[in-house]
Amino acid sequence: MSGTDAHTLAPSYVCGVSDTPLIGDTIGRTLDRTVARFADRPALISRMHGVEWTWRELAARVDALAAGFLALGLRQGDRIGVWSLNRPEWTLTQFAAARAGLILVTVNPAYRRSELEFALNKVACKALVTATAFKTSDYIGMLTDLAPELMRDAPGALKAAKLPHLRWVIQIGGATVPGAISFDAVSARAGEAERAKLAELNATLQFDEPINIQFTSGTTGSPKGVTLTHHNILNNGYFTGRAMRLTERDKICIAPPLYHCFGMVMGNLAALSLGAAMVYPGEGFDPLLTLETVAREKCTALYGVPTMFIAELDHPDFANFDLSSLRTGIMAGAPCPIEVMRRVIERMNMREVTICYGMTETSPVSFQSAVDDSVERRVSTVGRIHPHVEVKIVDDQGRIVPRGTAGELCTRGYSVMRGYWDEPEKTRDVLVDGWMKTGDLATIDDAGYCNIVGRIKDMVIRGGENLYPREIEEFLYKHPKVQDVQVFGVADDRYGEELCAWVRLREGETATDEDIRAFCRGQIAHQKIPRYIEFVEEFPMTVTGKIQKFLMREDVEHRLGLKAQKTA
Ligand code: AMP
């Protein structure tokens, strides 16, 4: 064996060393420390909602809300859902739930009736904090469709046939429906007893207790509740923020949604643990509002999935904004195009921008580029291993492959979830000896830099949002004319990927793509409705009967001339 061979045979295993220990504490007590250190520094700014709170003001509201939750009868370990776009109330709910020891269930605001019903029932949510409406999303309308009892039952005494565990609906803004209580009224319910109870909880809650459930479909169809502790997400937010050298002098413009770990962990908890300010440009993503917000608030960091940065850079008014306050930020969630990274560094002044790689099940971040990595490394890799985290790359037998060889990325350490809520078997499938099998294909080079080269699972990432073909297939199977259906991703120059469905109709039936789309509308989130719907007689299959989605993808991309961008 030559010297070079021996060198390249170093195993693909990396372990993050750091002089900085993990935070061994709860989210609530970490908030106390931040308030003690930075009481009068800005904590949360959301102009659209008229909010500009210091850490002292934010903490006072969080405490009042947490005591209010206790007054409603919510108890440690109870699940409380939040179903809203980015608003200050979302963050108050996140921090107050953690303070009171409640498990926050983050519900995707794009969910529609059947998805909401599934999520709330799966984890037995006792309370739901919900927005009233935003643009075309009528949250209260959908909720009362699902639970008409909300128009009749008294607040706190809801007994809905389809949502049997839900007692409290806490409504943000709007005219409160009879069975709901307004968000603002919750704090007023608390008395001395609840405040004393809260102080006691603050002293006794343990950082290994679950505090958050986030829904993901992972490697298989139906959404699973990723169960995460204080320790998981607080530390991940902290080390992600530290990698950008965030301090109390930084202001993070958080454009990604709060319901996802990008917003709530890498945004909110990085801010909470380091004293930086959270700045929300708007409820849903809007490139113009984001640019305006960065310029007006003089943000120093900006977060987004690649498509958000593309929309900002390509905005016709881009040149009108002074972005000179920006220094750093994060691009993550999907493969990050090299060209876009270069433009972000040069045109948005984000010279210390980082790329993060991770998944919800690992809190999420496990790789991140460093602010002083070379530009070349920063645009073409997802950086190096995070502090206190281990990663190995394995072949299909579970054996570690040599550096530079592609294999499945597996993660171990403080950041790995407790498991999927009430799904021990599905948890065992992905969590082996403490290692989380990510389903992503990656390589690690000799210097420890990681490249994500593909996905074992057939998940589709459209504009940074994960879409799971099997979940959509399962829904389409319900169409009476559909015999069989396969959903897969095809390249798209704007969103990275788009969904395509191949449908086999039942014998003698006819349908148009519009019929199929109409069946989906209002039932599943609009992003899950396939952009391309084609009718076929058969699917390409192997001799052993395995459907070959990659052939379908090639066929569609070739016929329609579809291409994605070059990525890191
Ligand atoms: P989620 O659980 O929603 O955070 O999605 C996790 C998945 O997104 C990962 O398993 C990857 O497939 C993908 N992903 C996240 N970050 C990156 C990145 N920087 N580059 C490539 N893929 C990524």
The single-letter DSSP state of residue 371 is T
Q: Return contacts of 347-352, CB within 8 angstroms, 24+ apart.
A: 347/313, 347/318, 348/302, 348/309, 348/312, 348/313, 348/323, 349/323, 349/324, 350/302, 350/326, 351/327, 352/244, 352/245, 352/327, 352/328
Statement: residue 2 has pLDDT above 80: no
Q: Is the CB of 228 under 6 A from ligand 1?
A: no
- Which domains does the chain carry? 54-215 (3.40.50.12780), 460-560 (3.30.300.30)
Mean pLDDT of 384-397: 96
Q: Is the CB of 94 under 6 A from ligand 1?
A: no
pLDDT on residue 6: 44
How far does the centroid of ligand 1 lie from the alpha carbon of residue 455, in Å?
A: 9
**pTM of the predicted model as reported, rounded to 2 decimal places:** 0.87
- Measured from the Cα of 262, ligand 1's closest atom is 4
Q: Is the CB of 333 under 6 A from ligand 1?
A: yes
Q: Is the CB of 335 under 6 A from ligand 1?
A: yes
Q: Is the CB of 465 under 6 A from ligand 1?
A: no
Mean pLDDT of 134-145: 94
Task: Tally Cβ neighbours within 10 Å of residue 298.
Answer: 14
- Measured from the Cα of 568, ligand 1's closest atom is 20
User: Per-residue confidence at 219, pLDDT binned at 50, 70, 90?
Assistant: very low
Sign for the CA dihedral angle at 338, 341, 346, 348 comes to: positive
Percentage of residues in the chain with pLDDT exceeding 70? 96
Do strands 210-216 and 224-229 pair parallel, antiparallel, or not at all (unpaired)?
antiparallel
Mean pLDDT of 54-59: 98
Q: Is the CB of 357 under 6 A from ligand 1?
A: yes
- Measured from the Cα of 218, ligand 1's closest atom is 2
Statement: residue 523 has pLDDT above 80: yes
Q: Is the CB of 336 under 6 A from ligand 1?
A: yes
Statement: residue 455 has pLDDT above 80: no
For the ranges 42-46, 275-279, 423-427, 475-479, which has the lowest average pLDDT? 475-479
